[in-house]
Amino acid sequence: MRETLSIRALPILKVLRFVVLALLVVTLARPQLSQSREHQSAKGIDILLVLDISESMRAEDFEGTNRIQTAKSVVKDFLMDRENDRIGLVVFAGESFTLCPLTLDYSVLAELLGDVEIGQLEDGTAIGDALTTATQRLRASESKSKVVILLTDGENNAGSISPGAAASLAHSHGIKVYTIGMGREGGARIPYADITFGKRYREVLTYLDEDTLKQIAQTTGGRYFRATDGQSLKQIYAEIDRFEKTQFEVINAIVRKELMGYFLIPAVLLLGIEILLSNTVLRKIP
């Protein structure tokens, strides 16, 4: 009975040899498992928004609202479109002040921007001082791209630093300045409070010094824009957004895992079993 079972089991040896041979062939082919991993790193931009809050920004020539409210609304939308960039805010009139240093917390910046009101600073338009304040904030930045977006509706008539000197200083620190001139030609109505009649308007011709704004942009490698209504102001910030996009560096890494062991070990084990069986229970007797 035992001999009959042994004879019937002899084909098992052939099967084992075939499997061992197949595993050895696969092992010699050195199978590998490849995995591709993508690593993305962002190179953020440092941006300082410089906003004019002089009395002339009360002018109501922007679709039923005044210039300052239109500017604040558009700047808030601009903030929501940014990622990975540090952004700060400088406000100015007859003097300049850093309202918010460079930050990644856009919600805090938007809240501070919402609280900006005309009259918080001495009146006037100190463009040179405002640009210098922004430059002082950006000069220590290690970012490869440093940008100032300066919005005003007037001419430099206050402060101790000329716009030309401020532009040269910004350029020396690798800072690009985009300038935006705001307001329509021919003057605009500026509201004021009358003790007897309440809110009244006076027609005031505000002079926008486009030549100076163009020179600042040219000196620093930026561009000058003119905004005459809310829609054009939105388009200007959208265009600057396209110019100054954060760069993303994508690194592809391929990880390879050797699979030889998964085939070699079973081959060795099966070969051992085949040798054991062929020399014991399944041994052929001549």
Structural domain containing residue 168: 45-245
User: Are 262 and 210 found together in one domain?
Assistant: no
User: Are 239 and 253 found together in one domain?
Assistant: no
Please tell me the predicted confidence (pLDDT) of residue 7: 64
User: Are 32 and 114 found together in one domain?
Assistant: no
Residue 50 belongs to domain with CATH number = 3.40.50.410
Please tell me the predicted confidence (pLDDT) of residue 91: 97
Task: Look at residue 116 and tell me if it is in a domain.
Answer: yes
User: Are 268 and 130 found together in one domain?
Assistant: no
User: Are 39 and 102 found together in one domain?
Assistant: no
With beta carbons less than 8 A apart as the criterion, state whether 149 and 195 touch.
no
Ranges of beta strands (E only) in 158-218 are: 175-182, 188-194, 198-204
Please tell me the predicted confidence (pLDDT) of residue 248: 47
Task: Look at residue 114 and tell me if it is in a domain.
Answer: yes
Q: How high is the mean pLDDT of the chain?
A: 82
Ranges of beta strands (E only) in the chain are: 32-43, 46-52, 86-92, 96-103, 146-152, 175-182, 188-194, 198-204, 224-227, 247-258
Average pLDDT over residues 264-286: 70
Report the C-alpha gap between 151 and 92 in whole angstroms.
10
- Count the domains in the chain: 2
Task: Look at residue 15 and tell me if it is in a domain.
Answer: no
Q: 210-220 and 163-172 helices cross at what angle (nearest 10)?
A: 20
Q: Is the pLDDT of residue 107 over 70?
A: yes
Please tell me the predicted confidence (pLDDT) of residue 1: 42
User: Are 32 and 113 found together in one domain?
Assistant: no
Task: Give pLDDT tens digits for 154-176.
Answer: 899 999 999 999 999 999 999 99
